[in-house]
């Protein structure tokens, strides 16, 4: 089975900071990776699919990169609305696995 890990589990940052979250798979998953943002008490929101493609309406300060086993989500300049938990997710052939999440909070 494909297992996903994320680091760090918690990240403290300030408005305006550039932050990077890493997601790793225990075997190659090509570019079959999505990123979601979840705020407390709300459903996840799709940000990125195919490792680097922004979903419609997602601000350009979000970007994704990587392939194979290592992926990153970068927020170029943190905005107050960005403090949330971020999840990566692998998708392929009816196997869909989420990472454990990275909580981004205010320093």
Partner 1 sequence: EVQLVESGGGLVQPGGSLRLSCAAAGFTFSRYEMHWVRQTPRKGLEWVSYIGTSGRDIYYADSVKGRFTISRDNATNSLYLQMNSLGAEDTAVYYCARDIDFLLGVFDIWGQGTTVTVSS
Closer CB to partner 1, residue 17 or residue 38?
38
Q: Output the smallest distance, CB 61 to partner 1, in A.
A: 20
Angstrom distance (rounded) from CA 77 to CA 72:
15
Closer CB to partner 1, residue 36 or residue 78?
36
Which residues contribute to the site for partner 1 (CB under 8 A)? 32, 34, 36, 42-46, 49-50, 55, 87, 89, 91-101
Residue ranges of the alpha helices (H) in 1-107?
A: none
Angstrom distance (rounded) from CA 13 to CA 66:
23
Q: Output the smallest distance, CB 56 to partner 1, in A.
A: 8
- Confirm if 63 and 51 have CB atoms less than 8 A apart: no
Q: Output the smallest distance, CB 46 to partner 1, in A.
A: 5
Closer CB to partner 1, residue 19 or residue 34?
34
Measured distance between the N- and C-terminal CA atoms of the chain, rounded to whole angstroms: 36
In terms of DSSP bridges, do strands 10-13 and 102-106 run parallel, antiparallel, or are they unpaired? parallel
Q: Output the smallest distance, CB 93 to partner 1, in A.
A: 8
Closer CB to partner 1, residue 43 or residue 107?
43
In terms of DSSP bridges, do strands 4-7 and 19-25 run parallel, antiparallel, or are they unpaired? antiparallel
């Amino acid at each position: 089975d494909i297992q996903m890990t994320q680091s760090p589990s918690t990240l403290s940052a300030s408005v305006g900071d550039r932050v990077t979250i890493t997601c790793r798979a225990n075997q190659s998953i090509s570019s079959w990776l999505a990123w979601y943002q979840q705020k407390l008490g709300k459903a996840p929101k799709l940000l990125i699919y195919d490792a680097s493609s922004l979903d419609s309406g997602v601000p350009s300060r979000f970007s994704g990169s990587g392939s194979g086993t290592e992926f990153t989500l970068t927020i170029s300049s943190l905005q107050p609305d960005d403090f949330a938990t971020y999840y990566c997710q692998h998708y392929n052939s009816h196997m869909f696995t989420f990472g454990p999440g990275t909580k981004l909070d205010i320093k």
